[in-house]
């Protein structure tokens, strides 16, 4: 029998979980032919077919199902070696990172810098999206780590809870500082429609002012701030992002007597298969966010 290789077993595990060679290849940062070649080489080494193609995708054969248990053990052993023996400076892996725009606009560069300091050879792919999409991408194994409005309540997911993000009210400069702002009549720029911050803010505004309020929901926080700067509305937006614009004189912070609840974020990742790299990255995210 030919020698078994760990990368072949990793590819086998990925195909077994995704039931698709193409999705497994994408997750492992391989071309589809390379993933197919690894599975073929593993089948030759085992002297048996490990998968059958079906309408539902790649299905394990009886022998493949038997191998799955041992491949999981190999994977776990590999993670222990990486955790306890391997020098992090030599870890050459791909990490697919998904972040909400609030994070991308604030401490993401510091997080990437800290990651690269710990893992100089680490390759990082970054996607910025709304939290509901990031959740689906994580559960679909399309990304490895999601920093999003959380935590995710799913038994497959581990969460590192991050510090709350305070929201504040902002308006364009001009007029007397104590001039009241009528939230019932002026458009309000805030998070995208299919997000929790938008839903909670709208519910609060409905209760206070009725259903005739005007809102400018957007998936781009930078667009929200520009709308407010231009005097086209006011914004219920992250304090950490608005404070520098207040210091520059581009915005004014005001208090209408109430403020939306702070936003809670988490660094979330799949608990299985366990990855010391992803666990460490989530902990680094927590440390950077706290700073």
In contact, 170 and 235? CB cutoff 8 Å: yes
In this structure, CATH architecture of domain 167-254: 3-Layer(aba) Sandwich (3.40)
State the DSSP code for 162.
Answer: P
Q: How confident is the model at residue 3, as a pLDDT?
A: 59
CATH class (in words) of the domain with range 6-84:
mainly alpha
Residue ranges, the chain, pLDDT below 70: 1-4, 76-92, 175-179
Please report where in the chains the tokens 């006011």 appear, as a residue. 234
Tokens of 37: 């070649």
Query: What is the pTM (predicted TM-score) of this model?
Result: 0.71
Q: How confident is the model at residue 159, as a pLDDT?
A: 96
CA 82, CA 101: separation in Å to the nearest integer? 32
pLDDT tens for each residue of 58-105:
889 988 888 887 787 777 666 665 555 444 454 557 889 999 999 998
What is the CATH T-level fold of the domain 88-161+264-290, as seen in this structure? D-Maltodextrin-Binding Protein; domain 2 (3.40.190)
Per CATH, 6-84 and 88-161+264-290 having the same topology is answered no
Sorted by where each begins, the domain ranges of the chain are 6-84, 88-161+264-290, 167-254
CA 162, CA 150: separation in Å to the nearest integer? 9
Q: How confident is the model at residue 86, as a pLDDT?
A: 44
CA distances from 115 to 92, 94, 145, 147 (A): 13, 12, 13, 14
In contact, 148 and 195? CB cutoff 8 Å: no
State the DSSP code for 193.
Answer: T
In contact, 236 and 167? CB cutoff 8 Å: yes
Q: How confident is the model at residue 1, as a pLDDT?
A: 46
Q: How confident is the model at residue 170, as a pLDDT?
A: 95
């Amino acid at each position: 029998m030919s020698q078994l290789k760990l990368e072949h077993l990793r590819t086998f595990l990925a195909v077994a979980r995704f039931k698709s060679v193409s999705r497994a290849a994408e997750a492992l940062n391989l071309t589809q032919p390379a993933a197919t070649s690894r599975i073929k080489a593993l089948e030759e080494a085992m002297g048996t077919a490990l998968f059958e193609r079906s309408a539902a995708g790649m299905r394990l054969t009886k022998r493949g199902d038997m191998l799955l248990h041992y491949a999981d053990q190999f994977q776990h052993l590999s993670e222990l070696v990486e955790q306890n023996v391997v020098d992090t400076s030599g870890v050459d892996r791909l990490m697919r990172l998904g972040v909400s725009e609030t994070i991308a606009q604030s401490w993401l560069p510091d997080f990437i810098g800290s990651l690269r300091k710990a893992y100089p050879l680490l390759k990082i792919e970054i996607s910025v999206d709304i939290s509901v999409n990031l959740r689906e991408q994580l559960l679909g194994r399309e990304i490895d780590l999601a920093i999003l409005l959380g935590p995710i309540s799913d038994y497959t997911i581990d969460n590192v809870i991050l510090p709350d993000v305070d929201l504040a009210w902002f308006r364009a400069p001009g007029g007397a500082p104590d001039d009241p702002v009528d939230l019932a009549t002026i458009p309000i720029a805030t998070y995208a429609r299919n997000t929790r911050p938008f839903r909670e803010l709208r519910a609060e505004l409905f209760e206070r002012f009725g259903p005739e309020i005007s809102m400018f929901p957007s998936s781009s926080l930078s667009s929200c701030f520009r709308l407010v700067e231009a005097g086209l509305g006011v914004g219920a937006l992250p304090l950490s992002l608005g404070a520098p614009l207040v210091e520059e004189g581009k915005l004014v912070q005001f208090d209408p007597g109430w403020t939306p609840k702070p936003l809670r974020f988490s660094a979330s990742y799949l608990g299985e298969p366990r990855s010391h790299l992803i666990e460490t990255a989530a902990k680094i995210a927590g440390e950077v966010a706290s700073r």
